[in-house]
Structure 1
Amino acid sequence: MAETTVKAGYRRSVDLARFVAAFGIVWDHARAPYADIGYTALALFLVLTSFLAVGSFERSDGKGFWLSRAQRIALPWLFWCAFYWVVYHVVSDEPFQLLSDPWTLLIGPSIHLWFLPFVMIFLVTIPWVSRFINSPVRMYIAATLLVLVSIPLGLMHAKLAPAAWFINPEGFPQPLPQWFFSLPLFWFGAVLAAGKRMGLVWPALAAAAVVSVVLYQRSPEFASVQMILVAVIFEAIWRVNIKGTWTTWLAGFAFGIYLLHPATMLVAFKLFSDTVDRSFAALFAFALAWALTAAFQRVPGINRFL
């Protein structure tokens, strides 16, 4: 029953959202105007990741779900760690040292790679969420737990200035600032997926509203309202009916664009200097990352890492 519902409820607009979210992350990292949209882009990326993971789990037999997906993430992570180690060894005055800080084992040589071990670790919770939420009462419990977990994590994230994602004056080592922000959104996506399967979404949306209101009252900044903002965006996306496979084709580039964009941004700054217009740099880096992803997807051996 769950498998049929998930398949029948699939939306190609969700695929388009993955591609758009990848663009938003590049825009943010280029520090282009209104770069704070990167918060929403990352939030959407996280929600989509866990939302789709729940659907994937419920379409499978459940056996070896986490291990198979962890392995599929681990190989790209190791590959891109090696890639960026070489890149930064060439261009940086302080090359990456793997064991200089044990926390680097959860990141790698480029800060954006924190996303891969994060997903690899917390995918283990997807079967728990899916199996637990099998009745309205349990949906209400899950939404309540989401609030109780998300508020403390959000408050810990609020203690850190945005710069602390890269420099941590408060003593929180990377990737903890990223995890404080990301884990509630990841779990929100999983709870939302279970709600869509049951036809009972409002508890998840109510949880998102409560979390955002409380966090904004304690820390009135854009990052604090991401859960309700991405909830509204997701619901709008869900209601868009797109025909054709072009959105799925675009979505196939999103992961590669995310992985490659720091390197293509280095190319942009090398070609046009660090004083280049940041909007242009973002567009250039995004387009080049897209082109390289498309090219690498045709290269045997490399394509498995994108």
Structure 2
Amino acid sequence: MAASEVKAGYRRSVDLARFVAAFGIVWDHARAPYADVGYTALALFLVLTSYLAIGSFERSDGKRFWLSRAQRIALPWLFWCAFYWVVYQVVSDEPFHLLTDPWTLLIGPSIHLWFLPFVMVFLVTIPWVSRFIDRPARMYVAAVLLVLVSVPLGLLHAKLAPAAWFINPYTFPQPLPQWFFSLPLFWFGAVLAVAKRMQLVWPVIAAAAVVSAVLYSQAPDFASLQMLLAAVIFELIWRVNIKASWPTWLAGYAFGIYLLHPATMLVAFKLFSETVDRSFAALFAFGLAWLLTAALQRVPGVNRFL
């Protein structure tokens, strides 16, 4: 067991980071004080998603990897689309209509659901990353490619890139802004996972530093620093050796908390009004989402969507 964990780059602290990142996202969506921490929480969530996906791929035989993983994401996405459609039919003055905007096909009724189609689509790149980076020279190439891809996408997210024929960067339809922000971080996590296996991490960290430096020079904003911040935080997490199993237990709730927190946020505002202290709202929504996740994981048929 220990040998397989080392080979896969497994750390209990990485599991704990998933749970903490879920809390950071809830804190951001509640617009609690210092809500911009949500940028870093989402960045870490994305890095961990692709990092763990590389490990899953390399532990498997590689056959039907994308199809099987996509199916595991597609079913929860459809389930939670149906759930939030019902919720917003009840609480919204303008209920969600799927086909009025074709971009909603990549989101669903609730904006936070953009994450599932995004991961479902770009998991197709995980086998390619793992297979391509098979020696040090290709790791250097991958680090350069990461910079070349991440900077334009980051500038698009910051609305600084020149208008292209296919898109106006000043009127990005959702979920394109989320995708522009997220794809570089997703690929960073995948390349980092291979780098850990090869024990050649510095080119990936250097790429993250270059990306953040260039983006910050053009758009001096907290969002521009996220790849470097995620890299530093991950390296700190990696060095924490937790032998107990409780971080893995906590990590099992992270996905459910992410999926449920908009609904529990609505409950918080319904019970305590829109003027409720946002820190309290974040803590309440997080705690209730955690409690509901724990309860629903015990319900046959529903637990597969968490």
TM-score by length of 2: 0.95
2:69 aligned with 1:69: yes
Q: Deviations over 1:17-36 (max 9, x none)?
A: 00000000000000000000
Taking the aligned partners of 2:78 and 2:214, their CA distance within structure 1 comes to 39
What percent identity do the matched residue pairs reach?
A: 86
Which SS does the other structure have where 2:138 is aligned? helix
Which SS does the other structure have where 1:242 is aligned? coil
Amino acid aligned to 1:190: A
Which SS does the other structure have where 1:99 is aligned? helix
Instruction: Name 2:264's counterpart in structure 1.
Output: 264
Contact 1:6 1:55 in 2 (8 A): no
Contact 1:150 1:211 in 2 (8 A): yes
Q: Which runs of structure 1 show a deviation greater than 6 angstroms over 4 or more consecutive aligned residues?
A: none
Instruction: Name 2:284's counterpart in structure 1.
Output: 284
Q: Deviations over 1:215-258 (max 9, x none)?
A: 00000000000000010000000000001110000000000000
- Note the 1:197-208 alignment, pairs <5 A: 197-208=197-208
Instruction: Name 1:99's counterpart in structure 2.
Output: 99
Amino acid aligned to 2:43: A
Amino acid aligned to 2:251: A
- Note the 1:210-289 alignment, pairs <5 A: 210-289=210-289
Contact 2:54 2:127 in 1 (8 A): yes
TM-score by length of 1: 0.95
Taking the aligned partners of 2:28 and 2:195, their CA distance within structure 1 comes to 31
Cα displacement (A) at 1:8: 6.2
Unmatched tracts of structure 2, length 5 or more: 161-167
- Note the 1:128-139 alignment, pairs <5 A: 128-139=128-139
Contact 2:7 2:197 in 1 (8 A): no
Instruction: Name 1:163's counterpart in structure 2.
Output: none
Instruction: Name 1:196's counterpart in structure 2.
Output: 196
Taking the aligned partners of 1:85 and 1:11, their CA distance within structure 2 comes to 37
Cα displacement (A) at 1:171: 1.7
2:83 aligned with 1:83: yes
- Note the 1:51-70 alignment, pairs <5 A: 51-70=51-70
Instruction: Name 2:303's counterpart in structure 1.
Output: 303
Cα displacement (A) at 1:5: 7.0
Amino acid aligned to 1:304: R
Contact 2:25 2:41 in 1 (8 A): yes
Taking the aligned partners of 2:9 and 2:129, their CA distance within structure 1 comes to 19
